[in-house]
Amino acid sequence: MSEATSRYNVPGLERGLRLLQLFDRTRRRLTAAEMARGLEIPRSTAFRLAQTLEALGFLEREGDTYRIGTAILRLGFEYIASLEIAELGRPVIEQLRDATELSAQLVIRDRREVVVVLKASPTSTFVSSVTVGTRMPAHATILGRILLGDIDDAALRALYPEATLPQVSPHAPRTLTELKRLVREDHARGHAVSESFFEHGICAVAAPVRDHSGRIVAAVSVTAQRPNLEPATLREQLVVQVCAAAAELSRRLNYRPAEAA
């Protein structure tokens, strides 16, 4: 950096951005002490920087470590198209749409919301009004429950500290205990099915997408305009197709169940 350029630097902003640059494929999680060493600054300064970035959604805290937060996506959804998961996911989502003749989506979680990053719409049947960039409350959707599946009880409690959860739909869980039960049931099942759970007359099936470490990084889903998924054979077929799509995208992200176990 030239002397002329450095004259206009904002030191605090520069440190915050350099802190974010510490994260890469080999350092996905860092403690405040590791950040301090990487930036050669006092640990207390690194902690304050991390806390500020967490408050803004650019970092997410899990125990004593931090990881990159999806608020970075809010700098511009145009960037989403260039993300690895979107690039790798597009053919998978399009194939799922063609196989089911339903709207198919790929979503990620941004703290208490889910964000649609990819969508493939059918040409002849119901087309969901959900678009790329649409945000929905995580606790009130099966997509959110799938994406919350691998965070521990303490992290879930920190995410939802209030006694009563926002009632954005008639079937949304009212308490953390109820949400936790639904999340754990979906996680154990490996998928989730919604029949008018978030929106009346809309059904959905969702399954988790994992990266090379086994962490849930996204969810794949299909939506249908119908009050239920009867007969049972239809529900079973959609579950198989959605889970297969999620497994294929996970494979493309180098997830290997035996290695992640």
Lowest mean pLDDT among 13-27, 58-72, 124-138: 124-138
pLDDT value of residue 128: 60
pTM over 0.75: no
Which domains are assigned to the chain?
Answer: 3-68 (1.10.10.10), 75-260 (3.30.450.40)
**CA neighbours within 13 Å on the CB side: how many for 19?**
32
Alpha-carbon distance of 84 to 180, in angstroms, equals 30
Place of tokens 């079937």: 171
Instruction: Report pLDDT digits (tens) over 115-164.
Output: 998 899 887 655 566 778 788 899 989 999 999 999 999 999 999 998 88
Closest CA to 98 of 66, 68, 122: 122
